[in-house]
C-alpha cells in the first residue's frame, strides 16, 4: 500500500500551517478530528466548507463524518462571526436571574435572532450554555470577556459602542 | 523524583515563604477576575514593593464566597477582605502589621464554620501555576507513597474502605469501579477524567481544575497505578479556556519534575496525560458518549453493557471518573480510608462541593460534609434569600435533577436522600429560587435544554423531549388543558423507562419533581390561566381578537 500523502494546503494563508501542525502532532490520526476542528475555528473564527474538506481529507475521515461532527457540537460554527460578539449565558443561574430578558433586549436592539450577525457584520449575538461564572449571574461575554451582574442598560451601552465603531 | 526530593522541595518553598512577614492572597478565579482582581494584584504588588515591607503577593484559586469578590486574604492573620479593588491596595498594604482595614473587612464566619475542606483544601492557598506550591502542601506525596509502599490492590482497598462514591452525579462506588477495571484483562488500559461540566449552573469542576490542577493529575496517576493504566485523558469543556491553560501548564511542570512520564519515582510505573477539548455537548458527560468524543466522533452514547470498565476507549478497559472524584483521591491515600469514611452520612461518605447560586445572599463555592441539612446550606452558609423575598425551591442536579421545596429542607444531603425527594445529587449545582420564579417555566427551561442537547440517537429522548416541551409551552402560554397534563405525566414515565442513556432517563425529573411539589402552580396555569409568579406571559390566554370573529 502506498504511503499516505496529506493533501496540499488550501492556500498559502499561514493559518493553515497551524492547522497542519495540530494534525501532525497527532500523527494525522482520525481521532484528532475534533482537536483539528478546534484549531481551525480558533485560527479562522469559523469552519467553512473548504476547511472541513481539507481536514477530512488530511485525516482520511469521510466528509460526511467530519460534517456530522461539526454540526453535532454547539461550539463549532459554520458562519463567520461578526467583528464583535455578545454572548449571553443561558445557564440555569443566569436564567433564574433574568438572562432571557437580556436576550430579548439584545434581539430587539440589534434586530437579529440569537445565533445571527448584524447585516453590517459588526455584532454577533450568541447564547452560551454556561460559562461557569454562575455566582455572578446574569453573565454576558463581550468578545470573550466575562461581565457579571449585567443589566439591560449596561449591555445596551456596550452594543451602542460597538455599533458606531 | 523520590519522596526525599519531594520533601526537599516542600522545605525550600516553606523556607522561601518564611522570608516574608505577610502573605497577601488574591483570588483570581473567574468571578473575581471578572471584577478586576488582575489589576488589584498588580496594584498590591506595586504597593508592597513601595512600602518596603516583606510581603508575598500571591494569586490563588477560588476562595469560595464569590458574591463578595474580589476577595483578598492576608495571612498569617487570616484577615478576609471583600469587594476589594485596585484603589484599596495601598490601604491594605499599609495596614499590614497593624489593625486591619475596617471598611473592607468582612465577617463570613457563619459562612465558613459549617464547611469542611477536603477537595478545596488548597483553593485560596496556592498559586495554581506553581507546582512547588502544591508540593509544599503535601502534593504528590500520596502518589509517591502509593508507588513505593502500596500495591495496586492496596490502593483500591483503601479507596473502597473510604466509601467514596462518584462525584459526577451517579454515585457509583469508586472502589468498585476501580476494581472492575483492574480485573479487566489486557495490557493497555486508559484512565479518563470527565471535566465536561455540562450542568448549566455548576462550576465546581472548573474551579478545581483552575485552582488546583495538580490535585486532579495526582488523583489520575494514583488511579492509573491502581488499575494498571499507562495513559490518561482529561476531557475538558472548550468553554473553560483558563482550565485548559492551567492544566496544560500543570502537565508540563509535572513532566519536568518526573511526576509524569516513564519510570516515575524509579519504579516501573509509566503514566502520561493528554488534554482533549469538548465542543459543547451535554450528552458527552455520559461515559460512552464521552469516549466517542475523545475518539473524534459525534458524542452519541452506546447501550451498556459492555461497560467502559471492560471495553471503553478504543475497545480497551477504561476508567472514567469525574474531576471531583479524582480530587478526593490524594487525601484519601494520604490520610487513610477510615479518615474519609468518618465524614459524612451512612451511605454517602466524605464531603461534597456545591456551587451555590441563584437567589441567595452568598453565592459561590461551598464544601460541606455529606449529611448536612439542606436548610443549613441555604440559610446559614448561603445566608438565605435576599431582598425580602421568600424561598420557594432549591434545584439540584441540573437538567437531570429536580426542585426541592421549603418543607423538605430538613433532609440531610446524601445520594439516596436526594433521589427519594425526586431529585439527584448531580455534579453539585445548587440553584436557589424565590417567589419570583415560576416552577412551570423552570421545568420548561430544563426540558428545552434536554431537547436541544438530545443527541438524537434514541426516539424516546429525541421525540419525547420535544413533545414535553410543546406541552409545557402550552401551559406557559395559557393554552394547556388538564388532558395535556395527564399526557405529560404518562410521557414522562415512558421517556424515563425507555431512553438509552442518562440524559433521556433523567430528562423528565424536573417536570416530575415540580409536579410533585408544585402541582397547584400547574393547575393555576391550566385552569385559571394565570402565572402566580408573573413570569409566564400567558399571551394566548387573552386573545386580542375573539376567536369567534376569526372563524
Nearest chain B Cα distance for residue A106, angstroms: 19
B397 pLDDT tier (thresholds 50, 70, 90): very high
> Residue A139: its chain B contacts at CB < 8 A?
34
Q: What are B135-157's pLDDT values in tens digits?
A: 999 999 999 999 999 999 999 99
Mutate to test the interface with A, among B61, B67, B296 (most CBs of A within 10 A): B296
Cell of B355: 456551587
Q: Are B297 and A65 in contact (CB under 8 A)?
A: yes
Q: In chain B, whose CA is at the least distance from the CA of A100?
A: B445
CATH number for the segment(s) A84-163: 3.40.30.10
- pLDDT value for B201: 87
Does B548 have pLDDT greater than 90?
no
Name the pTM for this structure: 0.94
Residue B543, pLDDT above cutoff 80: no
Section A44-49 average pLDDT = 94
With beta carbons less than 8 A apart as the criterion, state whether B70 and B37 touch.
yes
Burial B156-166 (b: 16+ CB within 10 A, else e): bbbbbbbbbbb
Torsion sign, CA atoms B450, B451, B452, B455: positive
In the predicted structure, residue B228 carries a pLDDT above the cut 90: yes
| List of domains in chain B | 21-113 (3.40.30.10), 138-341 (3.40.50.11540), 351-434 (3.10.20.600), 439-527 (1.20.1440.230)
B113-117 long-range contacts, CB within 8 A, separation 24+ = B114/B368, B114/B372, B114/B376, B114/B380, B114/B381, B115/B64, B115/B366, B115/B367, B115/B368, B115/B381, B116/B343, B116/B351, B116/B367, B116/B368, B116/B369, B117/B351, B117/B367
Domains of chain A: which residue ranges?
A: 15-72, 84-163
For B349-361, the pLDDT digits (tens) are: 999 999 999 999 9
Asked if B422 reaches chain A (Cβ–Cβ under 8 Å), the answer is no
Q: What is the mean pLDDT of chain B?
A: 93
Between residues 98 and 127 of chain A, which touch chain B (CB distance below 8 Å)?
Answer: none
DSSP B32-87: HHTTTHHHHHHHHHHHHHHHT--EEEEEES--S-GGG-S-EEEETTTEEE-S--GG
From chain B, the residues in CB contact with A136 under 8 A are 31, 34-35, 66-67, 69, 363
- Rounded distance, CA A44 to CA A105, Å? 29
Amino acid at each position: 500500500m502506498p504511503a499516505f500523502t496529506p493533501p496540499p494546503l488550501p492556500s498559502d494563508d499561514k493559518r493553515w500551517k497551524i492547522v497542519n501542525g495540530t494534525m501532525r502532532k497527532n500523527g494525522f490520526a482520525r481521532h484528532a478530528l475534533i482537536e483539528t476542528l478546534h484549531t481551525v475555528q480558533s485560527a479562522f473564527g469559523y469552519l467553512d466548507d473548504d476547511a472541513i474538506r481539507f481536514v477530512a481529507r488530511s485525516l482520511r475521515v469521510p466528509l460526511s463524518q467530519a460534517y456530522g461532527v461539526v454540526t453535532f457540537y454547539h461550539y463549532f460554527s459554520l458562519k463567520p462571526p461578526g467583528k464583535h460578539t455578545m454572548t449571553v449565558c443561558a445557564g440555569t443561574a443566569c436564567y433564574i436571574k433574568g438572562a432571557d430578558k437580556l436576550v430579548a433586549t439584545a434581539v430587539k436592539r440589534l434586530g437579529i435572532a440569537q445565533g445571527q450577525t448584524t447585516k453590517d457584520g459588526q455584532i454577533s449575538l450568541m447564547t452560551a450554555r454556561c460559562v461557569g461564572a454562575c455566582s455572578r449571574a446574569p453573565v454576558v461575554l463581550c468578545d470573550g470577556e466575562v461581565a457579571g451582574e449585567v443589566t439591560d442598560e449596561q449591555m445596551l451601552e456596550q452594543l451602542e459602542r460597538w455599533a458606531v465603531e | 523524583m523520590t519522596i526525599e526530593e519531594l520533601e526537599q522541595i516542600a522545605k525550600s518553598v516553606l523556607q522561601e515563604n518564611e522570608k516574608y512577614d505577610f502573605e497577601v492572597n488574591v483570588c483570581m478565579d473567574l468571578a473575581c477576575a471578572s471584577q478586576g482582581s488582575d489589576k488589584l494584584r498588580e496594584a498590591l504588588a506595586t504597593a508592597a514593593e513601595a512600602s518596603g515591607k516583606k510581603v508575598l503577593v500571591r494569586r490563588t484559586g477560588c476562595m469560595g464566597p464569590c458574591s463578595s469578590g474580589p476577595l483578598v486574604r492576608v495571612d498569617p492573620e487570616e484577615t478576609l477582605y471583600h469587594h476589594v479593588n485596585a484603589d484599596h491596595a495601598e490601604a491594605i498594604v499599609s495596614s499590614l502589621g497593624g489593625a486591619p482595614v475596617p471598611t473592607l473587612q468582612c465577617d463570613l464566619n457563619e459562612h465558613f464554620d459549617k464547611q469542611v475542606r477536603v477537595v478545596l483544601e488548597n483553593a485560596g492557598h496556592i498559586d495554581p501555576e506553581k507546582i512547588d506550591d502544591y508540593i509544599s502542601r503535601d502534593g504528590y506525596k500520596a502518589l509517591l507513597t502509593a508507588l513505593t509502599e502500596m500495591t495496586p490492590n492496596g490502593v483500591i482497598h483503601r479507596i473502597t474502605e473510604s466509601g467514596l462514591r462518584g462525584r459526577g452525579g451517579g454515585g457509583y462506588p469508586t472502589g468498585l469501579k476501580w476494581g472492575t477495571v483492574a480485573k479487566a484483562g489486557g495490557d493497555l488500559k486508559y484512565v479518563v477524567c470527565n471535566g465536561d461540566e455540562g450542568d448549566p449552573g455548576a462550576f465546581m469542576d472548573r474551579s478545581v481544575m483552575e485552582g488546583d490542577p495538580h490535585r486532579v493529575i495526582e488523583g489520575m496517576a494514583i488511579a492509573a497505578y491502581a488499575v494498571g493504566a499507562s495513559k490518561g485523558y482529561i476531557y475538558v469543556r472548550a468553554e473553560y479556556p483558563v482550565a485548559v491553560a492551567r492544566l496544560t501548564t500543570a502537565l508540563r511542570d509535572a513532566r519536568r519534575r518526573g511526576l509524569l512520564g516513564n519510570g516515575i519515582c524509579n519504579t516501573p510505573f509509566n503514566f502520561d496525560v493528554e488534554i482533549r477539548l469538548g465542543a459543547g455537548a451535554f450528552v458527552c458527560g455520559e461515559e460512552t458518549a464521552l469516549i466517542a468524543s475523545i475518539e473524534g466522533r459525534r458524542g452519541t452514547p452506546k447501550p451498556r453493557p459492555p461497560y467502559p470498565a471492560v471495553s471503553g476507549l478504543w475497545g480497551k478497559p477504561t476508567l472514567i471518573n469525574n474531576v471531583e472524584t479524582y480530587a478526593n483521591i490524594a487525601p484519601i491515600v494520604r490520610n487513610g480510608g477510615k479518615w474519609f469514611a468518618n465524614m459524612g452520612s451512612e451511605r454517602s461518605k466524605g464531603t461534597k462541593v456545591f456551587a451555590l447560586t441563584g437567589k441567595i445572599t452568598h453565592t459561590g463555592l461551598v464544601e460541606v460534609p455529606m449529611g448536612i441539612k439542606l436548610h443549613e446550606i441555604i440559610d446559614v452558609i448561603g445566608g438565605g434569600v435576599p431582598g425580602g423575598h421568600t424561598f420557594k425551591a432549591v434545584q439540584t442536579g441540573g437538567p437531570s435533577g429536580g426542585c426541592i421545596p421549603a418543607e423538605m429542607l430538613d433532609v440531610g444531603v446524601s445520594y439516596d436522600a436526594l433521589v427519594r425527594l425526586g431529585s439527584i445529587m448531580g455534579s453539585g449545582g445548587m440553584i436557589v429560587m424565590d417567589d419570583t420564579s415560576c416552577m412551570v417555566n423552570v421545568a420548561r427551561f430544563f426540558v428545552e435544554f434536554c431537547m436541544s442537547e438530545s443527541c438524537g440517537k434514541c426516539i424516546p429522548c429525541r421525540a419525547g423531549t420535544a413533545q414535553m416541551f410543546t406541552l409545557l409551552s402550552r401551559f406557559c402560554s395559557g393554552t394547556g388543558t388538564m388532558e395535556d397534563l395527564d399526557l405529560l405525566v404518562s410521557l414522562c414515565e415512558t421517556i424515563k423507562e425507555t431512553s438509552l442513556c442518562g440524559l433521556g432517563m433523567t430528562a423528565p425529573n424536573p417536570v416530575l419533581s415540580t409536579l410533585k411539589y408544585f402541582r397547584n402552580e400547574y393547575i393555576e396555569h391550566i385552569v385559571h390561566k394565570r402565572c402566580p409568579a408573573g413570569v409566564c406571559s400567558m399571551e394566548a390566554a387573552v386573545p386580542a381578537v375573539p376567536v369567534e370573529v376569526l372563524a
